[in-house]
Amino acid sequence: MLSRQDNEMMCRTGPDTPMGAAMRRFWIPVLQLSEMPAAGADPRPLQVMGENFLAWRDQQGRAGLFAEACLHRGASMALARVEDDGLRCVYHGWKFGVDGTVLDTPNVADPRFKERIKGRTYPVREAGGFLWAYLGPRGEEPEFPRLPFMDVPQAHRINTYAVVNCNYVQVIEGLVDSSHLTVLHASGLSKTNGVELDFAKNVSHMQFDASPAIEADETDFGFHYVAMRQMGDKRMARIASFIAPCFVANPNGDLWFAVVPVNDERCNFFHVWWNAKKEIGLEPMRTQQLAFVGLDEPTLAKYGMTRDTCDSDLAPSWKNGYRQDKAQQRAGHFTGYDSFTQEDAACSISSGGIRDRSQELLSTADVAISRLYRTLLACAKAAREGRQIPGLKADVGGVVGVSAPIALDQDWRTLVPQHKIVSGARAAEHRQ
């Protein structure tokens, strides 16, 4: 449970908010590279944390991210003329390169004027199938993170994303909430038996214990938590890591998420799977994997979860009963949804555009949820007070999610010895 005030502070990420300021201090994925314009093609409009941008590649193939509003008097750069080395605003002809260099200001007589100003562009990187951007104060970008999926060739990776019409925190909650898997996804999990897909094999055991023991530790990168389920004379430990400000390494070990606010009531839910040995990014493996969890293009479009459909009536909302199929539910399916992704989205969206956390009752199953609140609020408060943002300086290259059987007396933390635990008594214990 949170006060209304803290809830607002945690959820709102617009340019003048504490959480927005915290998030803008990190490198975040803003677009899938598959959606990035080709060299010299029209710029692509996108929204991140309530602000409008344009992604573009100049004729030399250099990627850039522009604020939509022209530096001069704010006309949309979406209207701009595409020229070889820059975008030229159609209003008065100011022209900007991808690195912010002002190349021309034809309505100003002084030819040196343009040398004294800088265009509204942001540092970007292309890695792991995403365009990453740093949207914070100029010159203060942190080191670019080196994540495990960035080192595999494209054919060994699946990048995809769903557009979810609710606040980003609700989607992250679903990723650090092991107990819902056994219940909400019961029908999907029951279909995993014998399925020859890595994802199915990794999650199949979760059908059997709906009340896992949950423990969480604060770490230098955010927090990690475990869900332990009984399995004969052993326990199955599933450890997920939350990496500030909006990333989660899934316990399956081959799946990583970024939940990036589009605005306060919509987010892009980026997924990336990777496999050093298999070419999972090629067909038919790619579509098999995506279809199993409801992330294939036809299913996402059917539920209004793509960029082109998220404003349509197909998107789950109060008006359309969140697109649930009640007849299918009555006929025996637990939820009446096609797959995991739609079940998660329905629960997240149906709790409100920005869920009111002053009206909830957390239990022992929600240890990681309250840890998430604390971590995000710590980031927001640090930004508000001008202190170092938790997680900003952490080396996240070795941060993982893990799933493995452990003996009843084994400490689950031995599965992630590289994670730096920083919270109180547990940290002391662990360091001994």
Contact positions vs ligand FES (CB under 6 A): 70, 72-73, 75, 89, 91-94
From ligand FES, Fe ion, none, which one binds at residue 70 (CB under 5 to 8 Å depending on kind)?
ligand FES
By beta-carbon proximity to ligand FES, the closer residue of 50 and 119 is 119
- Other C-beta atoms closer than 10 Å to the C-beta of 116 total 8
The structure tokens listed for 69 are: 């509003």
By beta-carbon proximity to Fe ion, the closer residue of 66 and 247 is 247
Q: How far is the CB of 181 from Fe ion (least distance, A)?
A: 6
Q: How far is the CB of 89 from ligand FES (least distance, A)?
A: 3
Q: How far is the CB of 346 from ligand FES (least distance, A)?
A: 43
Q: How far is the CB of 47 from Fe ion (least distance, A)?
A: 25
Site for Fe ion in 373-412 (CB under 5 A): none
From ligand FES, Fe ion, none, which one binds at residue 94 (CB under 5 to 8 Å depending on kind)?
ligand FES
Q: How far is the CB of 74 from ligand FES (least distance, A)?
A: 6
Cα–Cα distance between 199 and 203 in angstroms, integer?
A: 6
Q: How far is the CB of 160 from ligand FES (least distance, A)?
A: 36
Strands (E), 198-334: 213-219, 222-231, 234-243, 247-249, 255-263, 266-274
Judged by CB under 5 A, the stretch of 153-161, 204-212, 336-344, 402-410 that binds Fe ion is 336-344
Start-to-end Cα distance in the chain: 34
Cα–Cα distance between 411 and 352 in angstroms, integer?
A: 38
Residue 329, Cβ density class (10 Å: 0-12 exposed, 13-18 middle, ≥19 buried): middle
Q: How far is the CB of 345 from Fe ion (least distance, A)?
A: 9
By beta-carbon proximity to ligand FES, the closer residue of 98 and 272 is 98
* Residue 225 · residue 214 · CB < 8 Å: yes
From ligand FES, Fe ion, none, which one binds at residue 197 (CB under 5 to 8 Å depending on kind)?
none
By beta-carbon proximity to ligand FES, the closer residue of 94 and 274 is 94
Site for Fe ion in 340-369 (CB under 5 A): 344
From ligand FES, Fe ion, none, which one binds at residue 73 (CB under 5 to 8 Å depending on kind)?
ligand FES
By beta-carbon proximity to ligand FES, the closer residue of 8 and 68 is 68
Q: Which residues contact 151 (CB under 8 A, 6 or more apart)?
A: none
Q: How far is CA 342 from CA 306, 313, 336, in A?
A: 12, 15, 10
Q: Which of 370-392 are b and which e, b meaning 16 or more Cβ less than 10 Å from the residue's Cβ?
A: ebbbbbbbbbbbbbeeeeebbbb
From Fe ion, ligand FES, none, which one binds at residue 344 (CB under 5 to 8 Å depending on kind)?
Fe ion
Cα–Cα distance between 140 and 184 in angstroms, integer?
A: 42
By beta-carbon proximity to Fe ion, the closer residue of 173 and 344 is 344
Nearest in space to 217 (alpha carbons), one of 381, 414, 24: 414
The structure tokens listed for 94 are: 């100011």
Is residue 347 within a helix (H) or strand (E), and if so which, with residue range?
A: helix 340-350
Q: How far is the CB of 199 from Fe ion (least distance, A)?
A: 12
By beta-carbon proximity to Fe ion, the closer residue of 121 and 341 is 341
Site for Fe ion in 31-70 (CB under 5 A): none
- Other C-beta atoms closer than 10 Å to the C-beta of 40 total 15
The residues of the shown chain that bind Fe ion, judged by CB under 5 A, are 344
